[in-house]
């Protein structure tokens, strides 16, 4: 069953036609990845899903409902969490305060505390940095915080935009291990990633975006061995 469907989405930035009639689907419990070069439309796709950018035409269907004209703050309350490119944590807030912002719609303090403990299970380092201001942490720790903040909303669909960007290889491995663990526990994930090899290794399926269009789709293990994909993105 599809938790998410994009149907013939056309998204513009002013006069720039960023997404050109793209259609994708994400089944419940999958990891689906979008790969492509810079400017291909990967981040725009996630922003269109989360309501940060509204499509000019087409439909975003989430759990059977068209949310294509829904503002981002409403979408955030319906079970979709978006971890943006560049992390976008609140640098002057502590780790604890950043995590609490992820549960802004939750009123029960006991529930917030329970969710925070679950985040610490995935990211023990955040417990150690609880009172530290987010902006003073390393890039890897900030990525963990951005993901932890998203998990505080207990999402049913997690949108991850370039989680490995700018991180040391050992931290990248940790992040991808956690993404796999989240998925094994039932979370559906749509992953945008420049590191195509890492993404396709853990993805059930993938789509290749090129200048705003889907040019290829298939199983993760098929795309990782596809000659044209290897030449363009895995070389």
Structure confidence at residue 183 as a pLDDT band (50, 70, 90): very high
Average pLDDT over residues 51-69: 95
User: Which pTM does this prediction carry?
Assistant: 0.92
Structure confidence at residue 235 as a pLDDT band (50, 70, 90): low
Query: What integer pLDDT is reported at residue 37 of this predicted model?
Result: 86
Nearest to 45 by CA among 64, 16, 77, 23: 23
Question: Is-contact 54 68, C-beta < 8 A?
Answer: yes
pLDDT tens sequence across 34-44: 999 888 999 99
Instruction: Enumerate domains of the chain plus CATH numbers.
Output: 2-79+155-234 (3.40.50.300), 88-154 (no CATH)
Question: Is-contact 168 129, C-beta < 8 A?
Answer: no
pLDDT tens sequence across 76-126: 889 999 998 877 888 999 999 999 988 877 878 888 899 999 999 999 999
Cα–Cα dist 10/17, whole Å? 7
Q: How many CB atoms lie within 10 A of CB 113?
A: 11
């Amino acid at each position: 069953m599809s938790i998410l469907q994009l149907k013939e989405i056309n998204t513009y930035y002013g006069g720039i036609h960023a997404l050109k009639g793209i259609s994708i689907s994400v089944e419940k419990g999958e990891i689906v990845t979008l790969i492509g070069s810079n400017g291909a439309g990967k981040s725009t796709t996630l922003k269109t899903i989360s309501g940060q950018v509204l499509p000019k035409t087409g439909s975003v269907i989430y759990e059977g409902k068209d949310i294509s004209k829904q503002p981002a703050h409403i979408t955030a309350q319906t079970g979709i969490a978006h971890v943006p490119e560049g992390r976008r944590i609140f640098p002057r807030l502590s780790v604890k305060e950043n995590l609490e912002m992820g549960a802004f719609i939750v009123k029960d303090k006991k529930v917030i505390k329970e969710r925070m403990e679950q985040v610490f299970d995935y990211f023990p380092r955040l417990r150690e940095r609880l009172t530290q201001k987010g902006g003073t942490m390393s890039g890897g720790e900030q990525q963990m915080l951005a993901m932890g903040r998203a998990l505080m909303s207990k999402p049913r669909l997690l949108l991850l935009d370039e989680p490995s960007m700018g991180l040391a290889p050992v931290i990248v491995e940790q992040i991808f291990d956690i993404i796999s663990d989240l998925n094994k526990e039932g979370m559906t994930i749509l992953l945008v990633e420049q590191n195509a090899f890492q993404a396709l290794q853990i993805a059930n399926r993938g789509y290749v975006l090129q200048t705003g269009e889907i040019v290829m789709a298939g199983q993760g293990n098929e795309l990782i061995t596809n000659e044209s994909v290897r030449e363009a993105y895995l070389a």
